Each structure stands twice: as C-alpha cells, then as structure tokens.
C-alpha cells in the first residue's frame, strides 16, 4: 500500500521538483500540492497523508503554524524543506526525522524519503510525538488563536479584530464576515478558519456558519423539529443536526 504524500511550497518549481523526484519512489503517491498554509491544513485533514513535504516559509501561516492547526492524532511524518538553515535545524531537533536544505541533491532527497519510510513503518512514534508536542507547546505560548483578520479588497486593506465579528458565513472558498451592518469577504475556507478561532469564543452551528458565542441571544425550536440560533442583532441562523451536540457542549462549558 503506497504512502500518501502532500507537497506544500509556495514555489511551483520547487513543488514540481519534489513531485518529479518522488516519481522514482514507487511506494509514494502524491495526493495534494499546496501553495499556502491554509491549503496545506485543508489537504492534511482531507487526504490524511502519511508524509508531508513542508516549506517553513509559506503564505498565510508558516510551516510551524500549519502543524499547530492539525490535531495531534492526524499529523503526518514531516520532511521540512527550506532555504533557511536556522529553521531547518529547529525542525530537525523537534521531529528527530530529517530536513532538506535548498538546494538539495537527488541522493539527499532519497535519503530523507528513506528515513521517512522507516519512521512511518515503526509501530511506535512516542518519542517523535513528544518532541512535536513540546514544540507545539512552545508555539502556543506565543499565541494560539487568531486575533486579527486582514481583508484585501478593491485596492484597500481592512484590519479587523476577530472579536468584532458577529458571525462567519462560508461561501465555497471564501468566508463572509458579518460585522454590524457591514460585511467583508475573506479568501479562506470556513473549515480552515474554524481551526484558527478560539473555541471558547466561537462555535460552529452549521457547515457554513460560525457564530461568536457572546452574540447568541436565544435558541428556538420550530414546529418541524428544526432549531434556530438568534443573535442580538436579530440574525436568525440555522443550527444543523450535525452540530447540535457540539453546540450543547459549548453551552455546558459557558453556562
């Protein structure tokens, strides 16, 4: 059974070179290529790869932030790919696996893949997981959740605090931010955004809706068994069945 791999690098040529080198590894299948941090998180959660080639410096969030947003039990084995020696050494110390310092040779690449192959084959990853947990704990101490949003639109840049947003509405690859009477469009999938928001302040009530907890005024049940979340500004938002249990847990925690 092949190892599934994700390649994350903002440079198309860099992704192409890794993909070409992997063609010589018959037991490795590339299931996704990503050019920014948000895409990488989505790919990991969607594809469940065993192996991740991760550039440290990619748009939206760096490689360490990407790993912070992936639940511990779903993190793949990582080969860092970077042109910055200081980051590579830190990554190597944290994961005890390998890193590729650009530019790297074909032989060096194959050596890294073989190390990953052996790591994935091991029955226990306790030591690596502990080092990863220590690294993520260090990163979290610097600020775990998103506090500010940067919106670029029509030649202007708008800065918003997440605490100013009443609710988020998913629209394909975008999220509409509802802020009072205004709304703004953010180019990001709602699933990725959810992982970056403080769960003590925000709760997802629908596959396309996240609300700020302190904006919830009441919960009403309709005659047909549906439930509606009503906000202080009068917005009426559907609470879907798939998110009711999570919503009830949030009420118990904050109640």
Domain layout of the chain by residue ranges: 3-140, 148-254
Residue 140 in this model has a pLDDT that exceeds 60: no
Residue 23 near residue 49 (C-beta atoms within 8 A): no
Residue 88 near residue 79 (C-beta atoms within 8 A): no
Query: What's the token pair of residue 2?
Result: 């092949």
Angle, alpha carbons 215-218-222 (nearest 5°): 135
Four-way CATH pick for 148-254: 1.10.357.10, 2.40.50.1020, 1.10.10.10, 3.40.50.300: 2.40.50.1020
Q: Distance (Å, rounded) from C-alpha 101 to C-alpha 67?
A: 19
What's the confidence (pLDDT) of residue 138? 52
Average pLDDT over residues 172-195: 89
Tell the CATH superfamily of the 3-140 domain. Answer: Response regulator (3.40.50.2300)
C-alpha dihedral sign at 248, 47, 40, 206: negative
Cα dist from 38 to 43, 100, 128, 193, whole Å: 9, 22, 24, 8
* 18-22, 113-117, 124-128: segment of lowest average pLDDT: 124-128
Q: Distance (Å, rounded) from C-alpha 186 to C-alpha 86?
A: 32
Average pLDDT over residues 136-148: 62
75-102 tens-digit pLDDT: 889 898 887 666 655 555 545 367 788 8
Query: What's the token pair of residue 116?
Result: 């990953």
The percentage of the chain sitting over the pLDDT mark of 70, rounded to a whole number, equals: 83
């Amino acid at each position: 059974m092949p190892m599934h791999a994700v390649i994350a690098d903002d440079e198309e040529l860099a992704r192409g070179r890794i993909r070409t080198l992997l063609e010589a590894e018959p037991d490795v299948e590339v299931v996704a290529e990503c050019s920014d941090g948000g895409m990488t998180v989505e790919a990991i959660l969607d594809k469940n790869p065993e192996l991740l080639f991760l550039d440290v410096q990619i748009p939206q969030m760096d490689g360490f932030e990407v790993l912070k947003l992936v639940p511990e039990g779903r993190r793949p084995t990582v080969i860092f790919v970077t042109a910055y020696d200081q980051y590579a050494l830190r990554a190597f110390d944290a994961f005890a696996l390998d890193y590729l310092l650009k530019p790297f040779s074909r032989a060096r690449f194959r050596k890294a893949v073989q190390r990953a192959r052996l790591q994935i084959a091991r029955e226990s990853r306790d030591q690596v997981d502990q080092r990863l947990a220590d690294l993520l704990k260090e990163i979290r101490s610097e600020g775990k959740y998103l506090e500010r949003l940067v919106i670029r639109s029509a030649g202007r840049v708008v800065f918003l605090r997440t605490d100013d947003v009443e609710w988020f509405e998913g629209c394909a690859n975008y999220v509409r931010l509802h802020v009072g009477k205004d709304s703004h469009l953010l180019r990001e999938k709602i699933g990725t955004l959810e992982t970056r928001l403080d769960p003590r302040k925000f709760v997802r009530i629908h596959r396309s809706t996240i609300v700020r907890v302190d904006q919830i005024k009441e919960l009403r049940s309709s005659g047909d068994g549906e439930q509606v979340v009503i906000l202080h500004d009068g917005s009426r938002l559907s609470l879907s069945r798939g998110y009711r249990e999570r919503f009830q847990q949030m009420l118990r925690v904050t109640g």
